[in-house]
Chains A and B, each alone.
Chain A
């Protein structure tokens, strides 16, 4: 005769671990840190090598030059490049109170990137049991993203740009962590292959309720042929905000920043 065992949800006595409470506290820390930020903008493409970080860094600098307060969170934990693109100062990050101070980089952009933490030239690796690491590595990277949001003293900002890595998993984690879905700026190159990958990213953004700001078509006028920008814009009803040639004029970034 089977035992008559109550289910998990039947057990409602006080639980000293309070794991759900701990997770709730983590979420509140993110929400509190995001509260004084005017707009969180995720820059994504779903495709590698299209220039997301280049566009993100230059957009951040354009906002900075225009007198806007802007932060940039480099969410590419395994291939961070924003620190170099923003000429971030080298040196230790200051831990003060309940937060770590972001670096103040070119044009006053506040930056936090894994590149500021890792040893030069070393990949991101975690301590502990390496066997079956694929099971927990994703959770540790998500925890790092949560801490970059919650534990960095971003302060009041007009914009917080989040430079996402290729693929869609980090975007999903971001939506899960933030109190509201971020606005999405999408970067593509003109080719149909890029268009295919970016279409999936845009679809994911729409399905998660993220507002679309528009599309930036990068590397135009060169060897990459196609109309991915226009095609995606028609399909998703969102504008092409900029077409960026290989040697963009200095005014292009200010024009892009002014549209957002």
Chain B
């Protein structure tokens, strides 16, 4: 899918992605010539279809996680289905800490996918030099990374 500014005859470029949390998706594109912006809005079904392809509109900023689509979409998974290898985590620089509010929100994520979500947010924070993950950091990361439903 591409967007064309008909007046300028220029391909519009990705500007920003927003996930309001209701299953919909908003992606803004801008014309590099005239600066006009348009937003593509998808309904929950369309968002689901894009997400099921395992691609991220706007591009990936973190590598795809193992079984990302399965862990991100299966609703009937066991809460203890996966165990994140701690030895691997320990081999990297220190993980950021989690604020109490952020931990509370993380606790509401289904156990089946919680380990992967925690790893994604932690890697995001580490890559951005963030020492403590707060709810605000989670909101920003969620939008930037395109983590629908996480």
Interface pair A139/B60, CB less than 8 Å apart: no
Q: Determine if A93 is an interface residue (Cβ-Cβ < 8 Å).
A: yes
Interface pair A136/B58, CB less than 8 Å apart: no
Interface members, chain A 10-31 (any B CB < 8 Å) = 11, 13-19, 22-23, 25-26, 29
Interface pair B60/A22, CB less than 8 Å apart: yes
Residues of B in contact (CB 8 Å), total: 51
Q: Would A118 and B70 be within 8 Å (CB), given that A5-B6, A143-B54 are in contact?
A: no
Q: Determine if B143 is an interface residue (Cβ-Cβ < 8 Å).
A: no
Interface pair B59/A136, CB less than 8 Å apart: no
Q: Which of A119-127, A164-172, A182-190, A214-222 contacts B (4 or more CB under 8 A)?
A: A119-127
Q: Determine if B67 is an interface residue (Cβ-Cβ < 8 Å).
A: yes
Give B127 Cβ to nearest chain A Cβ, in Å: 17
Query: Please, how many angstroms separate the alpha-carbon atoms of A94 and B67 in the complex?
Result: 12
Residues of A in contact (CB 8 Å), total: 51
Interface pair B49/A135, CB less than 8 Å apart: yes
Q: Mark B64-108, 1 if CB is under 8 A from A, else 0.
A: 101111101111111011111101100000000000000000000
Interface pair A116/B81, CB less than 8 Å apart: yes
Interface members, chain A 97-138 (any B CB < 8 Å) = 97-100, 116-120, 122-129, 131-132, 135-136
Interface pair B75/A95, CB less than 8 Å apart: no
Interface pair B70/A92, CB less than 8 Å apart: no
Q: Determine if B45 is an interface residue (Cβ-Cβ < 8 Å).
A: yes
In order of increasing CB-CB distance, the 10 nearest A-B pairs are A129-B44, A96-B85, A92-B83, A139-B52, A122-B76, A143-B69, A140-B52, A151-B66, A16-B14, A13-B11
Q: List 12 A-B contacts (CB under 8 A).
A: A17-B57, A22-B55, A23-B53, A97-B85, A98-B63, A124-B74, A129-B48, A136-B45, A140-B69, A143-B53, A147-B68, A151-B68
- Taking Cβ atoms with an 8 Å cutoff, the residues of B that contact A are 1-2, 4, 6, 9-11, 13-14, 23, 44-45, 47-49, 51-60, 63-64, 66-70, 72-78, 80-85, 87-88, 112, 115-116, 149
